[in-house]
Amino acid sequence: MEYADYDSKKGKYFNPVIVEKVLEVNHLVKHFGAVKAVRDVSFTVYRGDIYGFLGPNGSGKSTTIRMVLNLIRPDSGEVLLFGQQLSHNRREVLSKVGALIERPDFYQYLSAYQNLDILAQYSGIKHKRDKIMELLKVVDLQDRANDKVKTFSQGMKQRLGIAQTLLHDPDLIILDEPVNGLDPQGIKDIREMIVRLNSEMGKTLIVSSHILREMELISNRMIVISKGKVVVEGEVRKLLESDTQQLTLITTDTSKALKLLLEKFPDYTFDRNLLDELHAELPTDVIPSINEALVNAGIGVKQLITRNNLEDFFLQNT
């Protein structure tokens, strides 16, 4: 039994529900010669998740994903998709999975529609014209359906690649580094598309990335791996909960502000940097009092910045 909601104030879960395990990875190990690429990696993905698979380059993310897709064999461990062992039911279970591994590859001198048409024929898709046009609309390429792929930006090619993964209507979509090399607009487009696929089409997604801020914005659960080993796995909101935050203060009078804070809050350390900013690590509930003390003393607060995000967590744990 799993739980749908978590009360952070009470520290308890509530609303018990039965949640289907879409993917179970148990104790995967993979060596390439003397290199230990993946070392005892285990995690679970539930139906409805946007599951962030995070780690620096070379951490073992892509190797793990390739084992999940049966593109390479693990030295030991097992993969269960939809409750079935991948090693025993490869064709059946992989028919429910769509995957985009790094950059998609298309016929550059054919149109977006023609590329998907070829793939649909290979997959035996019925009513393929209606299906292709529907998917091009999903990825916001319906107006470019007849344009050659060579005229597309990298972001558009990535969206076309996602349309390709949807041709056979999979339950699980795996995207390996989908925003790698994209400009800010391309990253935003892919991010919004991932959320739509989950919320509007009911797809479960695994998204691999080293761009941590993107995962913080879209994932409900995540795993962090480093050097082939699991650092942590769990709900993003729980992993980001903290009793303390990093505070950066910019005021109209740094010297006066620093003196006041050291007097009024002697239990904490305040540092002044070369940019004339004040920095401190403080309990979250103390920060409003600091702002109030500065304002009451006639010190203008230009900026008050707190940090408690996935990047901080990642850097502390890898």
Q: What residues does each domain of the chain span?
A: 2-240, 244-317
Cα 263 from Cα 267, distance rounded (Å): 9
User: What is the fold, at CATH topology level, of the domain defined by 244-317?
Assistant: Alpha-Beta Plaits (3.30.70)
Tell me the pLDDT tens digit for each residue of 68-123: 999 999 999 999 999 998 878 788 889 999 999 878 889 999 999 999 999 988 87
- Are 100 and 178 spatial neighbours (Cβ–Cβ below 8 Å)? yes
Residue 54 has pLDDT above 60, yes or no: yes
Instruction: Give, for 183, the enclosing helix (H) or strand (E).
Output: none
**Range list of β-strands (E), 10-87:** 12-17, 21-32, 35-46, 50-54, 76-81, 84-85
pLDDT for 286 beyond 50: yes
Q: Residue 275's pLDDT is what?
A: 82
pLDDT at 285 over 90: no
State how far the Cα of 65 lies from the Cα of 173, in Å rounded to an integer: 11
Residues in contact with 2: Cβ distance below 8 Å, sequence separation at least 6, in sequence order: 16, 17, 18, 19, 46
What's the CATH fold of domain 2-240? Rossmann fold (3.40.50)
What does the pLDDT average to over 173-196? 91
What is the rounded (10 degree) CA torsion for 46, 52, 58, 61?
20
| Assessment of whether the complete model's pTM goes beyond 0.85 | no
Q: Which residues sit opposite 12 in a β-bridge?
A: 7
pLDDT tens, 121-159? 887 777 788 899 999 999 999 999 999 999 999 999 999
Of 76, 101, 80, 77, the C-alpha closest to 92 is: 80
Both tokens assigned to 143: 């107006």
Q: What is the pLDDT of residues 195-226, one digit of tens each?
A: 999 999 999 999 998 877 788 889 999 999 98
C-alpha distances (whole Å) from 148 to each of 112, 113, 160, 190, 289 are: 6, 9, 12, 21, 60
Structure tokens that stand for 111 in this block: 């149109």
Q: Reduce the DSSP state of residue 172 to 3 states and report it.
A: strand
